[in-house]
Amino acid sequence: MKVHEEADGVFRIPVHNPFGVYPTNVYLLVGDRMGLFDVGPGYRRTWEDLSGALSQLAMRPEDVEVVILSHGHADHDGLAHHFSWASILIHQADLLKISDYNGHLDRYEEAVRAVMPTWGVSSEVSETIPGFFTWLRAAGDPAPWAETIADGADLQGLGGSWQVLALPGHTEGLIGLYRARDRLLISSDQLLETTVPNPGFYLVGTTYAGNGMADYERSLHRLAQMSVGRVLPGHGPAFADCSGRVAHFLAQYEERLDQAEAALQGPSTVHQVAERLFPGCDAGNPYHVFITHMEAVGRLSVLVERGRALRLEGLSGGPDRYSRSGR
């Protein structure tokens, strides 16, 4: 894998990631000490990409003192347990996803299975869901020594002063880093150049606790307030014009809501809205089913919040139905 020197002491290392179209970007931060921002999924090929890139720079994995995880998704944190000698930092809201990797996936799967009937997903389709979790379980392991890092924290010694930015939405605890000296933003999955992240499935215990769609918009507004020169995303190449991309995604957010409102042709389940929004979705692919339904329920929740739709709770175990508020 090619190593990209993006700025003074900042190297982008794309590593093997079977979860998406793009490799995952690991950022090597070099100052008085060495740190990594994200590590990639827990596969041997990913490890080879990462350790190979470090050796190209005449460094070794053992030189890494701190691993900062942008969020608790396997494509970013799955390899963290390899760095047993390093401190591992993650936002409190995502801590259990790495410290109790398998327990979290058990609770997550239970919540997904419980919520799918309320979305109107047939048992035939929801039965494919365990396949998705088997895939996630194979892509990581727990790092029980992980510690928390909070919004506003100032990370020193990694090539200047990096400010931790909480940017919830894609997950409850997603963080980015900002270096004011050269207006560099490491944005993780909150801000990619051409695509939007899927909204987070928020979890409390074993219960679905809401969708991250509205938080995602708030986090975009936070980025809109900042002076950013260059964006280093979680996947894909670096890009400039942060404010232009943020404005584009804020406009697109409103379009996503309008499309969901238009898809409410009479009282509809989340499943029906998902099918109308994504007619090409492969019902046999549990990952597609999950993300299309999360996108649909996220848009519907925001429409309800804004008074543009009503949610009618399903009676006697039946699915919830959404309708336009007729406002």
- For Zn ion, the closer of residues 80 and 264 by Cβ is 80
* Total residues at interface with Zn ion (CB under 5 A): 4
Residue 56 token pair: 């190209």
Q: How far is the CB of 94 from Zn ion (least distance, A)?
A: 10
Number of continuous H segments (helices) and E segments (strands) in the chain: 10, 16
Q: Name the residue nearer to Zn ion (CB basis): 170 or 299.
A: 170
Report d(CA 161, CA 168) in Å as an integer: 22
Tell the smallest beta-carbon distance from residue 197 to Zn ion (Å): 6
Q: Which of 256, 245, 262, 247 is nearest to 214 (CA)?
A: 256
From residue 130 to residue 149, the character string flagging contacts with Zn ion as x (rule: CB under 5 A) and all else as - is: --------------------
Query: Which among 61-69, 203-211, 232-240, 299-307 is the span making contact with Zn ion, rule CB under 5 A?
Result: 232-240
- The sign of the dihedral angle between the CA atoms of 285, 286, 287, 292 is positive
Q: Which is nearer to Zn ion, 73 or 308 (CB)?
A: 73
Nearer to Zn ion by Cβ, of 160 and 234: the residue is 234
Least CB distance to Zn ion at residue 170 (A): 5
Instruction: By CB under 5 A, tell whether 256 contacts Zn ion.
Output: no
Q: How far apart are CA 44 and CA 222, in angstroms?
A: 37
Pick 99 or 187: Cβ nearer Zn ion: 187
In the complex with Zn ion, which residue's Cβ is closer, 73 or 81?
A: 73
161-200 residues near Zn ion, rule: CB under 5 A: 189
Smallest separation (angstroms) from Zn ion to the CB of 73: 4
Report how far residue 151's alpha carbon sits from residue 94's, in angstroms, rounded to the nearest whole number: 13
Q: How far is the CB of 189 from Zn ion (least distance, A)?
A: 4
Quote the CA–CA distance of 243 and 297 in Å, as a whole number: 28
Which CB sits closer to Zn ion, 189 or 295? 189
What is the nearest approach in angstroms of Zn ion to the Cβ of residue 23?
10
| The one segment of 161-169, 233-241, 291-299, 311-319 that binds Zn ion by CB under 5 A | 233-241
What tokens were used for 260?
């969901």
Q: Which stretches of the chain are assigned E, i.e. beta strand?
A: 4-7, 10-15, 24-30, 34-37, 64-68, 87-90, 147-148, 154-155, 162-166, 175-179, 184-188, 201-204, 207-211, 230-233, 309-312, 321-324
Sign of CA dihedral 293, 306, 94, 187: positive
CB of 43 to Zn ion, least distance (A): 15
Q: Which is nearer to Zn ion, 91 or 308 (CB)?
A: 91
* Residue sitting closest to Zn ion (CB): 73
Instruction: Check binding of 94 to Zn ion (CB under 5 A).
Output: no
Q: Residue 72 and residue 173: Cα distance in Å, rounded?
A: 8
Q: Are strands 201-204 and 184-188 parallel, antiparallel or unpaired?
A: unpaired
**Minimal distance, residue 52 CB to Zn ion, in Å:** 21
Residue with the two structure tokens 């699915």: 319
Q: Which is nearer to Zn ion, 73 or 97 (CB)?
A: 73
User: Does residue 75 belong to the site contacting Zn ion (CB under 5 A)?
Assistant: yes
Residue of 12, 16, 73, 81 interacting with Zn ion (CB under 5 A): 73
**What span, in angstroms and rounded, lies between the C-alpha atoms of 165 and 186?**
10
Binding site for Zn ion (CB under 5 A): 73, 75, 189, 234
